[in-house]
């Protein structure tokens, strides 16, 4: 049905009407006190969400642009980096490192499995010469619905002393607790179309004092993604290049709403959307790619058993109920479907999606106890 | 007055209500046939505006990001480049070249003066060893309101044979005739918040076959700004990274409106907004930074004579009439004000701005024949 789309993908996520109306306001000039006030307020709220006193910089770019900026501003050619790779995004950050001539070491796990913190500990402890300049980890691996154990990996990085902890928090920040200062994360990148619940086009990077110290000698070439320029101008409540004005106005609106909800509520306290989704999938006889202990709060990757096809389920959900879920990426294409549950998504949305999935499975002649998904395991 | 702002700055430019409403539509998934159709249509219309069959790629970035991409994808470390520098943006592209270790040669003119095509001819003809890999020119230099003679400079570049012609068309494309294929321009960068009349956040780069040939061996590091990735995915009506969905929907809406108007009408046929603005400024006794022969179609830089202060005029226009004009940049700060007249700006807007300027000058006790600005020199 026209305009009836319900987004249950890992981004873009649904956007509140108030945010859309903020987005639609006629733009104002960006070199004005009025815009500077909005910009400064948005940054203050970003710091609140990041639980940090560090700089949080705003780029007109996707999450990939933000993460690339987070990597290339603090490293030099030939630097040794450890990159966790258990999905499409871990792979991507290793590719970025390769593109810039870093000495890239991949610590791998299968898609659906978490990264092994022990592998990081061993590599970091063996590095007595302190040659490792950075450890790069994707917190919530969107391609597989896995939440990596950032806290433990970061503890090993802290013990190492030299290495910077660089985090892709694109689908964790705002959906999962990421206490940037408490953990001492050096670089944390995220993107607007995820838990921020605004349309895509903005990337965010939080940068620690330790990372800024590394910036002084880092020599990888950059200009548009030069975070030093953003930092310098942010101190004057402005930007080095024309900012994505309307998206920043929308960001301010959405962050205001998030503040009203409060940190404790937006970090999915139990029973979470995640838990409800996972319990329902199990009750419906569907498999889960990630185990419960490493489940992303943003996205659940579902493995239909033999006799059910992921793409058929997705298509039916879309055609009959106007619900969009995501397919699998790369080698998981056709093997999983992925339900997003982050951003402006309420318990009602999760219930709705599960009820529709139940009806869809019935339509595909999949047998399970009727109502298995929704009522018993509903969020309360 | 609240919400009464009238933007007469060189970007962001006013945005049509229909475009703002398109921007505010709830986002759809970007990996869907629905989005691909919008994306493909927007690109077809971009090609129409560029008058080209070349690829035109869309980035989630400001114009600077697009121009940097246009430079770094087609060059290698140590390459020799000529950069025209007669304002803030010419300076910027030279800085980008320096940041990437290119051998940068600046061909300078004063702010307000056009680049001298002869200087380019001499340098290019002297280069019998064909060491010049690219010539970089800002078509409309926004900081000074100067339209550089791209056509003539490009003719010298074509005679050289090897060098790529790279153009910052950020405030010319859509305001001035830029026939990309007829002139054989290799790289043409522009940005959404200018003549496109949508909010900032999108950058565009048109790329010729000759530039793509150079891409094969170009070795400057890049990932988010790697145009080869955008080209590969554009062939499948999609993008390598999450696109700025809502801005692309708005882009499609605005380009649709521009097509209805027609190329001949949007390239300011005489009497143009530019001519009307310039004639009015002269009649009001104000000076112009650029001469008539090299006047930008996007922006007019006005030099108040002794006894008038640029910043006082700007402030009064803003406070009394809610009209925003831009100040001078860098060493022109306080010495000029700049009136934008591109994007969704009609003859009525130009008349309005001039009438308000006239009233403002009267308020500042500046004497001139009453009505000197508007009635005699009005656009017809």
User: Within a 10 A sphere around the Cβ of A202, how many other Cβ atoms?
Assistant: 29
CA pair distance A230, A164, nearest whole angstrom: 20
Number of domains in chain A: 2
Q: What angle do CA B85, B331, B150 make, to 5 degrees?
A: 25
Q: Is the CB of B191 less than 8 angstroms away from the CB of A242?
A: yes
Please write the tens of the pLDDT for every residue from B171-214: 999 999 999 999 999 999 999 999 999 999 999 999 999 999 99
pLDDT score at A373: 66
Q: Is the CB of A60 less than 8 angstroms away from the CB of B100?
A: no
Structure tokens at B157: 């570049």
- B36 close to A (CB below 8 A): no
Shared-domain flag, residues A230 and A340? no
DSSP letters spanning A324-360: E-EE--GGGTTT-EEEE--SS--HHHHHHHHHHHHHH
> Which one, of B26, B60, B355, lies nearest residue B204 by Cα?
B60
Q: Is the CB of B241 less than 8 angstroms away from the CB of A199?
A: no
ipTM summary value: 0.96
Q: Is the CB of A243 less than 8 angstroms away from the CB of B62?
A: yes
CA distances from B338 to A227, B6, B282, B378 (A): 29, 14, 14, 19
Chain B closest-CA separation from residue A12 CA (Å): 6
Rg of chain A over Cα atoms, rounded to whole angstroms, equals 21
Q: Is the CB of B246 less than 8 angstroms away from the CB of A199?
A: yes
Return the percent helix, strand and coil in chain B, to nearest 5.
40, 15, 40
Name the domain boundary from B261, B280, B298. B261
Backbone phi, then psi, for A131, in 5-degree steps?
-90, -10
CA pair distance B256, B82, nearest whole angstrom: 37
Shared-domain flag, residues B272 and B208? no
Shared-domain flag, residues A233 and A370? no
Shared-domain flag, residues A187 and A229? yes
**Considering only A360-374, B40-54, B271-285, B355-369, which range has the smallest mean pLDDT?**
A360-374
Identify the band that residue A379 occupies on the pLDDT scale cut at 50, 70 and 90: very low
Shared-domain flag, residues A29 and A175? yes
Chain A closest-CA separation from residue B254 CA (Å): 14
Whether A349 has a pLDDT exceeding 90, the answer reads yes
Question: Could you tell me if residue A364 is inside a domain?
Answer: yes
A259 phi-psi bin (left φ>0, alpha ψ -120 to 50, beta other): alpha
- B9 close to A (CB below 8 A): yes
Please write the tens of the pLDDT for every residue from A368-377: 876 676 544 4
Are residues B178 and B172 in contact, defined by beta-carbon separation less than 8 angstroms? yes
Please write the tens of the pLDDT for every residue from A209-231: 999 999 999 999 999 999 999 99
| Region B302-316 average pLDDT | 97
DSSP letters spanning A96-123: HHHHTT-EEEEEE--TTSPP-HHHHHHH
Q: Is the CB of B193 less than 8 angstroms away from the CB of A27?
A: yes
Structure tokens at A305: 């058993």
Shared-domain flag, residues B250 and B272? no
Backbone phi, then psi, for B318, in 5-degree steps?
-70, -45
Q: Is B137 helix (H, G, I), strand (E, B) or coil?
A: strand
Which pairing describes strands B80-85 and B103-108: parallel, antiparallel, or unpaired?
Answer: parallel
Are residues B328 and B337 in contact, defined by beta-carbon separation less than 8 angstroms? yes
Please write the tens of the pLDDT for every residue from B225-261: 999 999 999 999 999 999 999 999 999 999 999 999 9
CA pair distance B257, B16, nearest whole angstrom: 9
Q: Which residues pair with A323 in a beta bridge?
A: A6
Question: Could you tell me if residue A57 is inside a domain?
Answer: yes
Shared-domain flag, residues B141 and B254? yes
CATH at A301: 3.90.1150.10
> Which one, of A127, A189, A177, lies nearest residue A157 by Cα?
A127
- A96 close to B (CB below 8 A): yes
Q: Is the CB of B62 less than 8 angstroms away from the CB of A242?
A: yes
Return the percent helix, strand and coil in chain A, to nearest 5.
40, 15, 40
- A224 close to B (CB below 8 A): yes
| Region A176-189 average pLDDT | 97
CA pair distance B101, A260, nearest whole angstrom: 48
- B130 close to A (CB below 8 A): no
Whether B380 has a pLDDT exceeding 60, the answer reads no
Structure tokens at A335: 């093997």
Instruction: Pick A190 or B376 by higher pLDDT.
Output: A190
Are residues B133 and B164 in contact, defined by beta-carbon separation less than 8 angstroms? yes
Q: Is B302 helix (H, G, I), strand (E, B) or coil?
A: strand
Are residues A202 and A223 in contact, defined by beta-carbon separation less than 8 angstroms? no
Please write the tens of the pLDDT for every residue from B113-123: 999 999 999 99
What is the dihedral angle through the alpha carbons of B289, B292, B298, B299, rounded to the nearest 10 degrees?
20
Q: Is the CB of A29 less than 8 angstroms away from the CB of B20?
A: no
CB within 8 Å of chain A, chain B residues 177-196? 191, 193
Question: Could you tell me if residue B356 is inside a domain?
Answer: yes
Shared-domain flag, residues B369 and B250? no
CATH at B135: 3.40.640.10
Please write the tens of the pLDDT for every residue from B86-95: 999 999 999 9
CA pair distance A176, A147, nearest whole angstrom: 9
Shared-domain flag, residues A323 and A250? no
Shared-domain flag, residues A245 and A285? no
The percentage of chain B sitting over the pLDDT mark of 90, rounded to a whole number, equals 93
3-state secondary structure A193-243: CCCCCCCCCEEEEEECHHHHHHHCCCCCCCCCCCHHHHHHHHCCCCCCCCC
| Region A348-357 average pLDDT | 96
A contact test, residue of B13, B26, B330 with most A CBs within 10 A = B26
Whether B379 has a pLDDT exceeding 70, the answer reads no
Structure tokens at A147: 């939440």
> Which one, of A331, A372, A18, A362, lies nearest residue A144 by Cα?
A331
Indicate the average pLDDT of chain A.
Answer: 95
Q: Tell me which residue range forms the domain holding B239.
A: 17-261
- A16 close to B (CB below 8 A): no
CA pair distance A45, A377, nearest whole angstrom: 34
Shared-domain flag, residues B226 and B354? no
Question: Could you tell me if residue A10 is inside a domain?
Answer: no
Chain B closest-CA separation from residue A240 CA (Å): 10
Please write the tens of the pLDDT for every residue from A42-69: 999 999 999 999 999 999 999 999 999 9
Block residue for tokens 């999949």? A366
Are residues B66 and B205 in contact, defined by beta-carbon separation less than 8 angstroms? yes
Indicate the average pLDDT of chain B.
Answer: 95
- B324 close to A (CB below 8 A): yes
| Region A8-21 average pLDDT | 97
Question: Could you tell me if residue A121 is inside a domain?
Answer: yes
Chain A closest-CA separation from residue B39 CA (Å): 15
Name the domain boundary from B203, B230, B261. B261
Shared-domain flag, residues A137 and A285? no
Cα nearest neighbour of A344 on chain B: B26
Question: Could you tell me if residue B5 is inside a domain?
Answer: no
Question: Could you tell me if residue B3 is inside a domain?
Answer: no
Chain A closest-CA separation from residue B201 CA (Å): 5
Name the domain boundary from B204, B232, B261. B261
| Region B292-310 average pLDDT | 96
First to last CA, chain A: 30
pLDDT score at A268: 64
Question: Could you tell me if residue A3 is inside a domain?
Answer: no
Backbone phi, then psi, for A76, in 5-degree steps?
-125, 160
């Amino acid at each position: 049905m026209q305009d009836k789309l319900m987004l249950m993908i890992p981004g873009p996520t649904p956007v509140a009407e108030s945010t859309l109306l903020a987005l639609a306001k006629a733009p104002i000039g960006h070199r004005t006190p009025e815009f500077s006030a909005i910009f400064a307020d948005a940054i203050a709220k970003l710091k609140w969400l990041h639980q940090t006193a560090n700089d949080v910089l705003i780029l007109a770019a996707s999450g990939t642009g933000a993460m690339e900026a987070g990597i290339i501003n603090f490293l030099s050619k030939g630097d040794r980096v450890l990159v966790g790779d258990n999905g499409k995004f871990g792979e991507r950050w290793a590719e970025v490192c390769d593109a810039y001539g870093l000495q890239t070491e991949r610590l791998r796990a299968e898609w659906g499995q978490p990264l092994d913190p022990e592998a990081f500990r061993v590599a970091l402890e063996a590095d007595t010469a302190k040659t490792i300049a950075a450890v790069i980890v994707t917190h919530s691996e969107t391609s597989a619905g896995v939440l990596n154990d950032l806290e433990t990996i970061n503890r090993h990085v802290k013990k190492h002393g030299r290495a910077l902890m660089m985090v892709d928090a694109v689908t964790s920040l705002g959906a999962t607790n990421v206490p940037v200062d408490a953990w001492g994360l050096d670089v944390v990148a995220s993107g607007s179309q995820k838990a921020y619940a605004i349309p895509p086009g903005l990337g965010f990077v939080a940068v620690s004092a330790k990372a800024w110290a590394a910036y002084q000698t880092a020599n990888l070439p950059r200009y548009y993604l030069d975070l030093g320029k953003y930092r310098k101008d942010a101190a004057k409540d402005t930007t080095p290049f024309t900012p994505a004005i309307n998206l920043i106005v929308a960001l301010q609106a959405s962050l205001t709403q998030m503040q009203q909800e409060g940190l404790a509520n937006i970090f999915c306290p139990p029973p979470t959307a995640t838990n409800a989704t996972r319990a329902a999938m199990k009750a419906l006889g569907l498999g889960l790619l990630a185990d419960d202990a490493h489940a992303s709060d943003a996205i659940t990757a579902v493995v239909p058993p033999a006799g059910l096809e992921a793409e058929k389920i997705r298509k039916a959900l879309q055609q009959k109920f106007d619900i969009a879920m995501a397919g699998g990426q790369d080698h998981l294409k056709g093997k999983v479907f992925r339900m997003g549950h982050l951003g402006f998504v309420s318990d009602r949305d999760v219930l709705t999606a599960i009820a529709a999935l139940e009806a869809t499975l019935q339509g595909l002649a999949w047998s399970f106890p009727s109502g298995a998904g929704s009522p018993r395991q509903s969020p309360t």
